[in-house]
Structure 1
Amino acid sequence: MSKLKYIQTLGRKAKKASEELSNINDKKKNAVLKTFYSEIKNNTKQILNANKIDIINSKKNKLKDNLIDRSMLNLDRIKSILASIEEVISFKDPTNKILAKWKRPNGLVINRVTMPIGVLGVIYEARPNVTSDVSVLSFKSGNAAILRGGKEAFRSNIAISNLFRTSLKKNKINQDCIQLVNNTDRKLVDLMLSQMSAYIDIIIPRGGKGLVKKVLDLSSVPTIGHLEGLCHVYLDKSYNLKKAEKIIFNSKLRRTSICGAAETLLIHKSVKKNDIKHILEKLNNHGCKIIGDKNIKKIFRFTLPVKEKDWSTEYLDSKISVKIVDNIDEAINHIKKYGTNHTECIISNDEKNIIKFSKQIQSSIVMTNASTQFADGYEFGLGSEVGISTNKMHPRGPVGLEQLVTYKYVVNGKGQIRP
C-alpha cells in the first residue's frame, strides 16, 4: 500500500468514526475513559518497558537532552496521566450545549449550540503523555483523532494508543475514533498536511520550532498551536524578594524543556543590586548560565555577554537572558518586540502596574506573581490539553475539552417565511 493510500485510509476511517460519535452519550464516553484508566493502571509496567526502549534508542541516536527528558516516562508521570483521565471523566460533555438563546420579533428562536469539530490531526514530538491526553480529550469532546507521534517515543505511543483502542473495543465503540500513524517516515507528515483536507478538520502541532513551522507552511488544513514559547518574567520596582526569587527560579529551572519555561528575565533599574545578585547566584549555582547586558555584568561577574539573537532565542535549556530596563513601559515594549505571544509574568506589589501589564501584554497567558510554568491545561483545571495556542482567533492558551468544540445555529420556527 502506498503512503498516500495508507494515510487516506486512516482519514476515511476517522471520518466514519467521528460521524458515529454523534450518537454516543456522555455515560458511554465516560465508560470508555474509565476502562482506559484501568488499562493504563494495569499495564504500567508494559508502558514503562516500551518507554525504556525508546529512551535507549534516543540516546543511541544522540538526541538532545531536552527531547529525551520530554520523552521519558516514570511512575510519577504515569500518575499524572491517570489524574488527567480522572479529571476529564468528572467534566460535563461539552457537546450539544446551548451557549446562547434568543427570540426574534417574528417568533423565530435562535439557539447557538456546541458541536464537535470532527477529525483532529495531531502531529507531535516526544511527550508520550500527549497520546493519552489527545485520545481522552478528543473522544470526550466527540472528535476522532489521527495521531502522528515522533520516533523519540514510538513504542510508548503504540502502547498507550493500543490501550485506548482496547478500551473502545471493550465498550463496543468504533476503535477508529483514535488511530496512530504506525510509521515515523516524515513523508507521512507532509501527506497529512497537504493531502488530507477532505478528512481532517484541524491540525494541531506539538513540538519544536522546525516541526511547527513546517506545519504552518505546508498545511492545507486550519491549524491550532504555537511556534515558540519565548516566555518572559518582569521584576518590577516594587517587589518581595523571597516571592520573586521563588517565582523566577521555578519559572526557569523547574523544567527547562517545556514551552512554559522562562527564557528572559527583565529587571527594573530600581531593584536593589544585592537582590539581583542573590537571584542570579541562585540560578547560576543550580547550573543556569546567565546571559546579560553590561549592567548585569557589573552586578554579577559570571555573566556571559548577550547578543541580539539571545533576546529572540527559546533556549529550552539551563540558560536565561537578563536585562535591566528603565521602567515597565520598556519591559512591555521588549516583550512585544521579541515575544511569541505565549506566556509572560510580572512580579510586583504595585496593583496599578499589574493591571497595566495585564492589559497591554497581548500574549495568550499573562501571569501576575506566579510562575510561568503554570502555563498548562492540567494546571488550569482543564484536565489536560492538546497544546497551547497563541493564535489570535479561537482558541487561545491551553486547548482543553471546551476548546475542542465549535458551534452551529439551530433556528426553531413555526412556519415563518421571510418576506
Structure 2
Amino acid sequence: MQKLLTDIGKKSKKATNKRLSIKKKDKVLKDYRLLILKNKKLIINENKKDIKNAYKKGIKNNLIQRLILNDKKIVAITNSIKKIISLRDPTNVILEKWKRPNGLVISKVSIPIGVIGVIYESRPNVTADVASLCFKSGNAVILKGGSEAYYSNLILTKFFRKSLKKNNVDENFVQFLKLKKRSVVDFLLQKMSKFIDVIIPRGGKGLVKKVQDLSSVPTIGHLEGVCHSYVDKNANPKIASKIVQNAKMRNTAICGATETILLHEKIIKKFGNKILKNLEENGCKIIGDNKIRKLYDKKIQKASIKDWSKEYLSPVVSVKSVKNIDEAIAHINKYGTMHTDCIITQNKKAAKKFLNEVKSSIAMHNTSTQFADGGEFGFGGEVGISTNTLPPRGPVGLNQLISYKYQVTSKGQVRK
C-alpha cells in the first residue's frame, strides 16, 4: 500500500511540472463532458451497483439519495463542467505590478497550488466537479472517494483520464485511489506531505475532524455549518418569512441550512410568531429560549446552551430572542462556526454593521443562507467551503485553487 500511494504521489507531482495552455485545458474538459453524456447509461449502471451495495449495508436513506445518479443529475454534472469551461483561466494572471525607486519591476502572478488531495463521501458528482476545477486551475488531484460510491467514482474518473489521454496530456493530473482500506486515509494525511500540497475533506463531521486532527498537510474545509438568520426590528415581514422558511427548510441536510434563528424582541409578537408557525406547519420542530416560549402561542421545547452550538441537519431549529443587533452579532461570533450568517432588515446602517462585524466567511443581507454554494456564487462548482481564518474562505472554486509568486525584473540592478 505504501509503495502504491507513494508512486501515485510522485506521478501527481510529475504531471504538474508541465504547464498547459488554456486551449488545451478547455479541450480536455469539453471531451470529458461529451464522454459523460455519451455514456450516461453505462454510468447509471455502475451507479446501480453502488446503490445495491448501499441497501445491503443498511446505509441511511438520505445518504442513498445523495448517492443516486440519474439522467437529471448527470445533466447537472455536465452543466457544471460547461460552466467551468466558460470561466477565465485563473493562472498566469498578473494580480499586481509596480516599479520600485531602485529600478526593480515587481509582478505578483497567480500560479497553481500543485497537488490537491480530496477526501470525500457519498456524492459521485464531487468526482467530476473537483477533478474539473482542479484541472482547469492547473492542479493535479488525488481523489479518495467513499467506498459507498466506488463504482460511480471509478467510472467518472476513468472518463476524465480517457479525455486527458486523447489530448496527449498526462493522465496523472487526475488519479483515483481504488484502495478501500481506512488506513489509506491515515497514510495520505500523515505520510504524503512531500507530494500533496493541500488536503480538502468533504463529508460529515467525523471525516472532517479526523482530517483536521491528523493531517500533516495543510487543510481547507469546515467542520460544521452552524448558520444563523437574524430577523432585525426593521425587517420586512414578508421578506423575513420567505427567507427564514427557505434558509431552514429548502434542504435541511446541507451545511448552509440555518440552524439558529435570532429574533429581535420587538418583532416576536408582531410577526416573529407567524414565521415560527409557518416553519412548524411545514414540519419543523422549534426549540426556543424562555422569552420565545413565553410569547409563542404554542408549546415548544426549551433550548439549552448546547442547542446554540448544534448543527441539526434536519427539520429542527433553535430560536433565541435578542435585545438588539449587538447581541445578535455577539451570539453569532460566540456560537457560530464562521460559515454563513444572515441579517434580515430594511435598515442599511444595521445591515452594514452586521456584514462588517460578524466573523463569518460568508455574511449575508436579506438573503437565504442556502445560497452558500460555489455554483450559486458563479464559480461553476466548489471543492468545498472553507471557514478557515486564513484564505481561501467561503466556497472554494476555480479562483481559490491558486497561489502566487513574485516575478522581479531589472536592468542589472545590484543591492548596495
What TM bracket, shorter-length normalisation? over 0.9
Q: For residues 218 and 100 of structure 1, do their structure 2 counterparts lie closer, same or farther at Cα, with a shift above 3 Å needed?
A: same
From the superposition, tell whether residues 304 and 60 of structure 1 become closer, same or farther in structure 2 (CA, over 3 Å): farther
Offset at residue 109 of structure 1 (A): 1.1
Q: Aligned runs of 1:269-280 on 2, under 5 Å?
A: 269-273=265-269, 275-280=271-276
- Structure 2: distance between partners of 1:29 and 1:145: 14
Which of 190, 197, 200 is the matching residue for 1:201? 197
CA distance in 2, matches of 1:73, 1:256: 21
Task: Report the residue type matching 1:85 in the other structure.
Answer: I
Q: Aligned letter for 1:330?
A: E
Native 8 Å contact 1:70 1:257 kept in 2: no
Q: Does 1:168 align with 2:182?
A: no
Give 2:286's aligned residue: 290
Structure 2 partner of 1:120: 116
CA distance in 2, matches of 1:151, 1:77: 20
| 1:340-373 per-position Cα deviation (integer Å, ceiling 9, x unaligned) | 0000011111111111111110110011001101
SS in 1 for 2:47: helix
Decide which of 6, 9, 13 is 2:7's aligned counterpart. Answer: 9
Determine helix, strand or coil for the equivalent of 2:24.
Answer: helix
The CA deviation string for residues 212-262 of structure 1, in whole angstroms up to 9 with x for no partner, is 111111111111111111101001111222211111111111111111111
Unaligned runs of 5+ in 1: none
Does 2:300 match 1:303?
A: yes
Q: Secondary structure at the match of 1:362?
A: coil
How far the C-alpha of 1:28 sits from its partner, in A, is 0.5
Aligned-partner residue type, residue 252 of structure 1 = K
In the alignment, what sits opposite 1:179? 175
SS, match of residue 116 in structure 2: strand
Structure 2: unaligned runs, 5 residues or longer: none
- Give the equivalent residue in structure 2 for 1:76: 72
Segments of 4+ moved more than 4 angstroms: none
AA paired with 2:235?
A: Y
Mark the CA change 1:164 to 1:300 in structure 2 (over 3 Å): closer, same or farther. farther
**Partner-residue secondary structure (3-state), 2:317:** strand
2:283 & 2:55 partners in 1: Cα distance? 22
- Say whether residues 1:418 and 2:409 are aligned partners: no
Residue of structure 2 aligned with 1:377, choices 353, 371, 374: 374
* Letter aligned with residue 282 of structure 2: H
Residue range with higher mean Cα deviation, 188-197 or 156-165: 156-165
Alignment of 1:135 onto 2:128: no
233-242 vs 335-344, which deviates more? 233-242
Matched, 1:350 2:347: yes
Contact residue 66 and residue 316 of structure 1 kept, 8 A:
no
Asked if residue 336 in structure 1 is aligned to residue 333 in structure 2, the reply is: yes
Q: Percent identity?
A: 56
Q: Matched residue pairs, number?
A: 415
Matches of 1:73 and 1:145, distance apart in 2: 23
Question: What SS class does the counterpart of residue 192 from structure 1 fall into?
Answer: helix
Backbone CA RMSD of aligned residues = 1.5
Is 1:319 the counterpart of 2:316? The answer is yes
Map of 1:145 onto structure 2: 141
Per-residue deviation, 1:49:
2.8
Q: Note closer, same or farther for the CA distance 1:347–1:219 as it changes in structure 2 (3 Å cut).
A: same
Whole-angstrom distance in 1 between the partners of 2:165 and 2:248 = 43
Q: 1:218 & 1:347 partners in 2: Cα distance?
A: 39
CA 1:72–1:258: 2 relative to 1, 3 Å = farther
Report the secondary structure of 1:281's partner residue: helix
Name the aligned partner's letter for residue 311 of structure 2.
Answer: E
Q: How far apart, CA to CA, are the structure 2 residues paired with 1:4 and 1:54?
A: 27
Alignment of 1:357-376 (within 5 A): 357-376=354-373
Of 104, 107, 110, which aligns to 2:106? 110
CA shift at 1:65, angstroms? Answer: 4.1
Q: TM-score, normalised by structure 1?
A: 0.95
User: Taking structure 2 as the reference length, what is the TM-score of the superposition?
Assistant: 0.96
Q: 1:34, 1:366 → 2: CA distance?
A: 35
Q: Is the 8 A contact 1:102 1:109 kept in 2?
A: yes
